Structure 1
Amino acid sequence: MKLTRIHHCKNLNREKYKQLEKQAALLGRVRSEVWRKYGAVAGLNMGDRAIRDSWMNEGREFNVSANAWKETLRDCIGDIKAYREAAKEKVKQAIRKRTHCETELKRLYTLLKKDAWMEDNFLHRQMRKHFRHGVNHTHNQIIVRADMCKTFELNGQCWLKVPSLVPRQTIKIPLNTTMEFAPQGTLRIILRNGNVEVHSTYDVVETKDCGEATVGVDKGYSEAFVDSDTDVYGKGLGKLISSESDYLNKKYKRRNKLRAISKAKPHKRQAIERSNLGRKKLDKRQDAQRSKLKTLIYTATHQLIDKAGLIVAEDLTSPIQSKRSYGKNTNRRLNTWVKGILADALTTISHRRGSVVHLVNASYTSQSDSFLHGLLIGTRKGDQFYRSNGEVVQADWNAARNVLARLNDPEISRYTPYREVRRVLQERTDRYKSELTDLGSSYKLGNKTLTECELVLDYV
Structure 2
Amino acid sequence: MKVTRIAYSVRLNPGKYAALAEQARRLGRVRSEVWQRYGSVAGVGSGLTDRRVRDRWLADGTHVHFAVLANAWKETVRDAMADIAANLAAAKVAVRRAINRRTNDPAERKRMFTALKADDWASDPFLARQMRKHWKRGFNRTHDQIVVRADKYHTAVDGRGRLWLAIPGLEPRKLIRIPLSTTVAPTGTLRLILRGGRVEVHHRSIANTAALRGDHAKAHRVKANNLGIVKRERQAARHRARVRTEIFTAVHEVVDKAATVIAEDLTKRFTGRKQLPKNINRRLAAWTKGVTAEALKNVSERRGSALVHVNAAYTSQACHRCGRFGRRGGDRFHCTSCGVVWQADVNAAINILQRAGDPDIALHTPHHKVKQILQDRTDRHRTRLPVQDSSPATTGRRANYPNRSTVSDK
| TM-score, normalised with respect to structure 2 | 0.52
| Amino acid in the other structure paired with 2:190 | L
Q: For residues 448 and 73 of structure 1, what CA distance do their matches in structure 2 show?
A: 78
Aligned to 2:11: 11
> Cα distance, 1:449 vs. partner?
9.5
Q: 1:113 to 1:379 in 2, by over 3 A?
A: farther
Contact 2:155–2:185 (CA under 8 A) maintained in structure 1: yes
Does 1:140 pair with 2:144? Answer: yes
Q: For residues 49 and 92 of structure 1, what CA distance do their matches in structure 2 show?
A: 28
Does 1:166 pair with 2:171? Answer: yes
> Cα distance, 1:385 vs. partner?
4.5
> Cα distance, 1:92 vs. partner?
1.8
| Amino acid in the other structure paired with 1:140 | D
- Specify the SS of the correspondent of 2:17: helix
Q: For residues 140 and 386 of structure 1, what CA distance do their matches in structure 2 show?
A: 53
Q: For residues 118 and 168 of structure 2, what CA distance do their matches in structure 1 show?
A: 39
- 1:68 is aligned, of 69, 72, 75, to 72
Q: 1:159 to 1:386 in 2, by over 3 A?
A: same
> Cα distance, 1:94 vs. partner?
2.6
- Specify the SS of the correspondent of 1:119: coil
Aligned to 2:155: 151
Rg (Cα) greater in structure: 2
Q: For residues 14 and 150 of structure 2, what CA distance do their matches in structure 1 show?
A: 25
- Specify the SS of the correspondent of 1:31: helix
- Specify the SS of the correspondent of 2:173: coil
Aligned to 1:427: none
Contact 2:11–2:179 (CA under 8 A) maintained in structure 1: no
Does 1:120 pair with 2:66? Answer: no
- Specify the SS of the correspondent of 1:173: strand
> Cα distance, 1:209 vs. partner?
12
Aligned to 1:54: 56
Kindly provide the CA deviation profile for residues 321-347 of structure 1, in whole angstroms up to 9, marking residues without a partner as x.
Answer: xxxxxxxxxxxxxxxxxxxxxxxxxxx
Equivalenced residues, count: 239
Q: For residues 51 and 182 of structure 1, what CA distance do their matches in structure 2 show?
A: 32
**Percent of residue pairs identical:** 47
| Amino acid in the other structure paired with 1:162 | I
Q: For residues 104 and 450 of structure 1, what CA distance do their matches in structure 2 show?
A: 64
Aligned residue runs from structure 1 range 233-248, under 5 A = none
- Specify the SS of the correspondent of 2:217: coil
| Amino acid in the other structure paired with 1:195 | R
- Specify the SS of the correspondent of 2:54: helix
Q: For residues 208 and 393 of structure 1, what CA distance do their matches in structure 2 show?
A: 44
Q: For residues 53 and 84 of structure 2, what CA distance do their matches in structure 1 show?
A: 14
> Cα distance, 1:8 vs. partner?
1.1
Aligned to 1:197: 200
- Specify the SS of the correspondent of 2:67: coil
Q: 1:208 to 1:171 in 2, by over 3 A?
A: closer
Which stretch shifts more, 44-53 or 115-124?
115-124
Q: For residues 4 and 98 of structure 1, what CA distance do their matches in structure 2 show?
A: 40
- Specify the SS of the correspondent of 1:133: coil
Q: 1:164 to 1:104 in 2, by over 3 A?
A: same
- 1:207 is aligned, of 193, 209, 217, to 217
Contact 2:328–2:344 (CA under 8 A) maintained in structure 1: no
Higher strand share: 1
- Specify the SS of the correspondent of 1:41: coil
Q: For residues 58 and 22 of structure 1, what CA distance do their matches in structure 2 show?
A: 25
- 1:90 is aligned, of 94, 119, 126, to 94
| Amino acid in the other structure paired with 2:216 | E
Contact 2:8–2:181 (CA under 8 A) maintained in structure 1: yes
Q: For residues 150 and 114 of structure 1, what CA distance do their matches in structure 2 show?
A: 40
Q: 1:208 to 1:141 in 2, by over 3 A?
A: closer
Aligned to 2:332: 386
Kindly provide the CA deviation profile for residues 16-39 of structure 1, in whole angstroms up to 9, marking residues without a partner as x.
Answer: 000000000000001001100100
| TM-score, normalised with respect to structure 1 | 0.47
Q: For residues 137 and 152 of structure 1, what CA distance do their matches in structure 2 show?
A: 33
| Amino acid in the other structure paired with 2:109 | L
- Specify the SS of the correspondent of 1:129: helix
| Amino acid in the other structure paired with 2:138 | G
Q: For residues 392 and 10 of structure 1, what CA distance do their matches in structure 2 show?
A: 57
Q: 1:96 to 1:450 in 2, by over 3 A?
A: farther
Q: For residues 94 and 379 of structure 1, what CA distance do their matches in structure 2 show?
A: 40
